[in-house]
C-alpha cells in the first residue's frame, strides 16, 4: 500500500461503482449493501461531488436509476456514467453502424442506429445468456466480413457477482472474438481512461483530488489509478481475499464497505 492514508489527501470528488458497492444484483432485482444508501446521502450532503461509474450493460441508465431509486438510493441519470452511451458517442463520432451482441435490456440505448443495415463494427456487452455458440459464431462471422474488423467492447470485466454466484462478464467473450479474428477491441467503460476522465470533467475535479471506490480491483481500482485518481477497494461484491495480494494492482486502501469508506473520508474532512 502507498505511504500515508488515502483519506489524507484533499478529496473533492468521489466516483462510485454501482454493482457490488451500492447493491448486490439478484434475479429479483437487487439487495442494498448495508449502510450504502445512507453513505451516498452523507457523501452528497457533505459537499463532496459524486458520480456513479458503472460497467452495467444489461439495461439502460434510466432502468438502472429507477431500480436503484426503488431500493432507496438518491441518484439521477445525469450522475451515472455507463458504457452504452459512451459506445454510442464513439459510433456517432466514427460514423459506424453496429452489429450488437448485447442483452436485450440495453437495446433502447442504441435506437439512433439502423440495426438492419450492413454493420461496420461489432459492439459487445454483458449479454449474459444471450452468449452462446450460435450468437458468438454469428458475431465472429460479422467481424470477418469487415476489413479491418472493428470490435468495441463495453467493459472488459472478467466476472461479477450475481445472486451470490460469480458470473462470467463480457471480457472473456471479447477475448474469444479478439483471438479468433486477430484484432484488439476498443474498450469503452472502465478501465478506459476517457471514461474516468469524462466523469471527472463532469464533476469539475482534477484526478489527484478524486477517488474511485469499487469492488473490481483491475477495472475500478487499477483503471482509476492509471488516470491519477486514488483507487479504493471495498470488501463487498466480487471482492475475493486474493485481491489483497493481487499481482498487478495495489489499491490505495481497503475498506469493509462503502459506509466504512465514507466514515473515514468524512471524519478526516471534519478535522
Ligand atoms: Mg462492481
Kindly indicate the confidence band of residue 9, based on its pLDDT and cuts at 50, 70 and 90. Answer: confident
- 158 C-alpha to ligand 1 centroid (Å): 11
Among 4, 2, 7, which residue's Cα sits nearest to residue 264? 7
Domain spanning 83-188, CATH class: alpha beta
State residue 76's pLDDT score. Answer: 98
Confidence of residue 100 (pLDDT cuts 50, 70, 90): very high
Under the banding of pLDDT at 50, 70 and 90, the label for residue 271 is: very low
Model pLDDT, residue 154: 98
Kindly tell me the sign of the dihedral angle through the C-alpha atoms of 73, 23, 37, 125. Answer: negative
| For residues 143-166, average pLDDT | 95
CA 60 to ligand 1 center in whole angstroms: 16
- Please tell me the distance between residue 209's alpha carbon and the centre of ligand 1 in angstroms: 22
Cα separations in angstroms, 30 against 20, 35, 60, 267 = 10, 15, 16, 30
Q: Look at residue 171 and tell me whether its pLDDT is greater than 70.
A: yes
Q: 233 C-alpha to center of ligand 1: Å?
A: 10
What pLDDT was estimated at residue 2? 46
pLDDT at position 184 over 50: yes
Q: Are 66 and 81 in contact (CB under 8 A)?
A: no
How close is the Cα of 55 to the center of ligand 1, in Å?
A: 8
- pLDDT, tens only, 118-138: 999 999 999 999 999 999 999
209, 10 in Cβ contact below 8 A? yes
pLDDT tens per residue, range 241-255: 999 999 999 999 999
Per-residue confidence band for 3, with pLDDT thresholds at 50, 70 and 90:
low
3-state secondary structure the chain: CCCCCHHHCCCCEEEECCECCCEEEECCEEEECCCHHHHHHHHHHCCCEEEEECCCCCCCHHHHHHHHHHHCCCCCHHHEECHHHHHHHHHHHHCCCEEEECCHHHHHHHCCCCCCCCCCEEEECCCHHHCCHHHHHHHHHHHHCCCCCCEEEECCCCEEEECCEEEECHHHHHHHHHHHHCCCCEEECCCCHHHHHHHHHHHCCCHHHEEEEECCHHHHHHHHHHCCCEEEEECCCCCCHHHHHCCCCCCCEEECCHHHHHHHHHHHHHC
Q: What are the residue ranges spanned by the domains of the chain?
A: 83-188
* Average pLDDT of the residues in 1-26: 88
Find where cell 479504493 sits: 232
Distance 220 CA to ligand 1 centre (A): 8
The mean pLDDT of 88-103, rounded to a whole number, is: 98
Question: Which region among 9-13, 150-154, 226-230, 233-237 has the lowest average model confidence (pLDDT)?
Answer: 9-13
**68 Cα–ligand 1 center, Å:** 14
- Does residue 70 have a pLDDT over 60? yes
Whole-angstrom distance, CA of residue 213 vs CA of residue 33:
14
* Separation of CA 43 and ligand 1 centre (Å): 19
Query: What span, in angstroms and rounded, lies between the C-alpha atoms of 193 and 96?
Result: 21
Task: Give the pLDDT band of residue 146 (cuts 50, 70, 90).
Answer: very high
- Measure 13 CA to ligand 1 centroid, in angstroms: 19
51-63: per-residue pLDDT in tens? 999 999 999 999 9
Rounded CA gap, 126 and 91, in Å?
18
Amino acid at each position: 500500500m502507498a505511504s500515508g492514508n488515502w483519506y489524507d489527501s484533499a478529496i473533492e470528488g468521489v466516483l462510485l461503482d454501482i454493482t457490488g458497492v451500492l447493491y448486490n444484483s439478484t434475479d429479483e432485482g437487487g439487495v442494498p449493501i448495508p449502510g450504502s444508501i445512507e453513505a451516498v446521502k452523507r457523501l452528497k450532503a457533505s459537499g463532496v461531488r459524486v458520480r456513479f461509474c458503472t460497467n452495467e450493460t444489461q439495461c439502460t441508465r434510466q432502468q438502472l436509476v429507477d431500480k436503484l431509486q426503488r431500493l432507496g438510493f438518491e441518484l439521477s441519470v445525469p450522475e451515472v456514467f455507463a458504457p452504452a452511451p459512451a459506445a454510442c458517442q464513439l459510433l456517432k463520432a466514427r460514423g459506424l453502424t453496429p452489429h450488437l451482441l448485447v442483452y436485450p435490456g440495453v437495446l433502447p440505448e442504441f435506437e439512433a442506429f439502423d440495426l438492419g443495415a450492413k454493420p461496420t463494427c461489432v459492439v459487445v456487452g454483458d449479454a449474459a445468456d444471450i452468449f452462446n455458440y450460435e450468437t458468438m459464431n454469428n458475431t465472429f462471422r460479422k467481424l470477418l466480413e469487415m476489413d479491418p474488423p472493428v470490435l468495441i467492447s463495453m467493459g472488459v470485466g472478467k466476472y461479477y457477482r450475481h445472486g451470490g454466484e460469480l458470473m462470467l462478464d463480457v471480457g472473456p467473450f471479447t477475448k474469444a472474438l479478439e483471438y479468433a479474428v486477430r484484432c484488439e477491441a476498443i474498450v469503452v467503460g472502465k478501465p478506459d481512461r476517457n471514461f474516468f476522465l469524462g466523469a471527472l470533467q463532469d464533476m469539475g475535479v482534477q484526478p489527484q483530488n478524486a477517488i474511485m471506490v469499487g469492488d473490481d480491483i483491475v477495472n475500478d481500482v487499477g483503471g482509476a489509478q492509471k488516470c491519477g485518481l486514488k483507487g479504493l477497494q471495498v470488501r463487498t461484491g466480487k471482492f475475493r481475499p486474493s485481491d489483497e495480494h493481487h499481482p498487478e494492482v495495489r489499491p490505495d486502501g481497503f475498506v469493509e464497505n462503502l459506509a466504512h469508506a465514507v466514515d473515514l473520508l468524512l471524519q478526516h474532512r471534519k478535522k
